[in-house]
Chains A and B, each alone.
Chain A
């Protein structure tokens, strides 16, 4: 697969860079655009971004590895992020993770062999009133129990 940036992506990058007085400040949003178009950020993507923004490649690598939302390898089509912080665990969060591990047959941090699901354990998602909760891609799901999870998984297409 070619990692060249499409003209559409380049245009969106230009758009976002206009929000800042220098190019480096655009690094996080640019990486986000790259990831949303390509699914993850490869070493080659890092180099292209470095050239576009006039940065040393190490500066890009430093940022990609610092922030947990940047993926350096492909994620499943559905990225399931389960909160295991305090309020969620006070409301049965551990059970949710165990159920998902069993249902999907993978461990935390893994992707199913068909590339459909990736399971991640995360810190507080800022939805503690709906504990226990999780995100699937950018959608929040709260007040979870095993049956509700099964229904949610069935609804994912």
Chain B
């Protein structure tokens, strides 16, 4: 039951070369989709598969594609989000470096379904070596007719380019990503209008995460029913969980959607390092609200994690042990968001810096009674009051830490004063 899908061939040498990918049956899904299916059929199959976005929000990929107008004179675009900036997240790096052709194949199929002829992969600037490998893979795909004009004789054209980011977390947010691709500062846009109608260069645009698109070839080859059986009825397939922090075996684990958080940490990632006990878990990248040790008996799928008061996010699981003061965690969270706020909205720009100021003084032993309450108030005042979801991303972890670990935070004040 536990067979891997996306990562099944990652052990193969040179899988990133097109010959090896083709030997493994690569580009068969693209061939099937482009030569045997109509675009609407592809779209329907992906909708039926309940493929939820792997980038953060968990939105249905099929629905998102369906929002793009079918008949329009404007060019349509696909932007692949390979910014991977959410702290704790490293799964897309594995897909990009081990199997870039799988991503390219997913891009070809998605573009065909939506009627897109120009696609960009927006990749974080630090991934230069991987970006070069991806460019190499793109060149190979052009060479063998999987990109470019009249792909596989289907009459469908697609051009694909790599666009490097330059170090700004906010550019992972989809509308900031569009601004950045247009050659501007990464200031998010107000929604609506949504990118599906007004996106890149003001044209209809689909934005999907790397892992989301890497699933598409398997859905086409094996069908939506197979994909659903891998996961849950409203959240199909597997997820690549990235586990880091105080575990024995940090790394990526591809497991069915809905696998329990406890199982991932204790069975797959080898449990806590010797002599340590579990204190807390950040289950979906730094923006997701923290869970206490006793809250980890939950299924890891978009809806279950939300029901537990947190967020599946990018499925990046950060494990925190009993030797780590919660104030240390809070300090990292506060520093990160204060640094990465784009500065456009006042609540986010000022709020994150106020939070940092309070957390810093707590860490220096100069905290005041009521600081934990101030943090709760500040976080509550950012949430829902900013132009983009970055405000929520900054507020949620702070709020959850200040609330769930209030006693520890207040006790640390008393010891020092």
Interface string of B304-331 (1 = CB under 8 A from A): 0000000000001011110010001100
Residues of B within 8 A of A138 (CB): 126, 128-129
Answer whether A66 and B186 are a contact pair too, CB < 8 Å, given A87-B87, A126-B126.
Answer: yes
Q: Is the CB of B166 within 8 A of A69?
A: yes
Number of B residues with CB within 8 Å of any CB on chain A: 55
Distance in Å: Cβ of A98 to nearest Cβ of chain B: 16
B243 within 8 A of A: yes
Does the CB pair B245–A86 fall under 8 Å? yes
Question: B201, A22: Cβ atoms under 8 Å?
Answer: yes
Contact between B336 and A123 (Cβ–Cβ < 8 Å)?
yes
In the complex, chain A residues whose CB is within 8 Å of the CB of B92: 126
Chain A, range 17-47, C-beta contacts under 8 Å to B: 19, 21-22, 24-29, 31-32
Taking CB atoms, residues of chain A closer than 8 Å to B180 are 28
Interface residues on A, range: 35 or more
* Closest A residue to B89 using CB positions: A126
Residues of B within 8 A of A59 (CB): 183-184
Query: How does the 8 Å CB contact mask read for B175-193 relative to A, with 1 for contact and 0 for none?
Result: 0000011111110000000
In the assembled complex, B161 has its CB within 8 A of some CB on chain A: yes
Contact in complex: B87, A62 (CB < 8 Å): no
Given A21-B201, A86-B88, also A129-B168 (CB < 8 A): no
Interface: B242 (CB within 8 A)? yes
- State how many angstroms separate the Cβ of B345 from the closest Cβ of chain A: 16
CB distance from A40 to the nearest CB of B (A): 13
Instruction: Please tell me if the beta carbons of B161 and A19 are within 8 angstroms of each other in the complex.
Output: yes
A135 near B250: Cβ-Cβ < 8 Å: no
The answer to whether A91 has its CB under 8 Å from any CB of chain B is: yes
Q: How far is the CA of A135 from the CA of B124 in the complex (A)?
A: 14
A100 within 8 A of B: no
Question: Does B48 touch A at the CB level, under 8 Å?
Answer: no
**Is B104 on the interface with A (CB-CB < 8 A)?**
no
The CA-CA distance from A90 to B247 in the complex, in Å, is 10
Contact of A128 among B129, B182, B184, B244 (CB under 8 A): B244
- A139 interfacial by beta-carbon distance below 8 Å: yes
Q: Do the beta carbons of B184 and A67 come within 8 Å of each other?
A: no
Query: B86 to chain A: which residues have CB within 8 Å?
Result: 124
B194 at the interface (CB under 8 A from A): no
Minimum distance in angstroms from B339 CB to a CB of chain A: 7
Q: Distance (Å) between the CB of A22 and the closest chain B CB?
A: 7
Report chain A residues within 8 Å CB of B201. 21-22, 25
Is the C-beta of B246 less than 8 angstroms from some C-beta in chain A? Answer: yes
Contact A67:B126 (CB < 8 A) given known A19-B161, A27-B183: no
**Are A139 and B165 in touch, CB under 8 angstroms?**
no
A125–B242 Cα distance when bound, in Å, is 14
Contact with A along B29-44 (1 / 0, CB 8 A): 0000000000000000
Minimal beta-carbon separation of A23 from chain B (angstroms)? 8
Contact A87-B251, Cβ < 8 Å, known A24-B182, A128-B242: no
B332 within 8 A of A: yes
CB <8 Å contact, A123 and B340: yes
A69 touches B167 (CB 8 A): yes
Q: Which of A113-142 contact B (CB under 8 A)?
A: 123-131, 135, 138-140
In whole angstroms, how far apart are the Cα atoms of A126 and B167 in the complex?
Answer: 12
Question: CA of A53 to CA of B242 in the docked complex: distance in angstroms?
Answer: 41
Q: Which of A25, A53, A87, A128 makes the CB contact (< 8 A) with B181? A: A25
Shortest beta-carbon distance from A57 to chain B in Å: 14
Contact B167 A25 (CB under 8 A): no
Name the residue of chain A whose CB is nearest to the CB of B170.
Answer: A66
Q: Which residue in A27, A89, A124, A135 is a CB contact (below 8 Å) of B88?
A: A124
* B120, closest chain A residue (CB): A19
Is A85 on the interface with B (CB-CB < 8 A)? yes
Is A70 part of the binding interface, using a Cβ–Cβ cutoff of 8 Å?
yes
A86: chain B residues at CB < 8 Å are 87-88, 245, 282, 286, 318, 329, 332-333
- With A86-B245, A129-B244 as known contacts, state yes or no: A123 contacts B339, CB within 8 Å: yes
Q: Which residues of A contact B251 (CB under 8 A)?
A: 129
Complex contacts, B196 vs chain A, CB 8 Å = none
Smallest CB-CB separation from B329: which chain A residue? A86
B166 lies within 8 A of A28 (CB): yes
Interface residues of B (CB under 8 A from A): 75, 84-90, 92-93, 124-129, 161, 163-169, 180-186, 201, 242-246, 250-252, 282, 286, 316, 318-321, 324, 328-329, 332-333, 336, 339-340
List the 4 closest A-B pairs by CB distance, nearest first: A27-B183, A67-B166, A68-B167, A69-B167
Known: A86-B286, A90-B245, A127-B90. 15 other contacts (CB 8 A): A28-B164, A28-B165, A63-B184, A66-B168, A68-B168, A69-B126, A89-B332, A90-B319, A91-B246, A123-B87, A123-B339, A124-B85, A126-B89, A128-B87, A131-B250
30 cross-chain CB contacts under 8 A? A19-B163, A21-B201, A25-B183, A27-B183, A28-B180, A31-B166, A32-B125, A55-B183, A69-B126, A69-B165, A69-B166, A70-B167, A84-B332, A85-B332, A86-B245, A87-B87, A87-B88, A87-B244, A89-B328, A90-B244, A90-B319, A124-B89, A124-B286, A126-B89, A128-B244, A128-B245, A128-B318, A129-B251, A138-B126, A138-B128
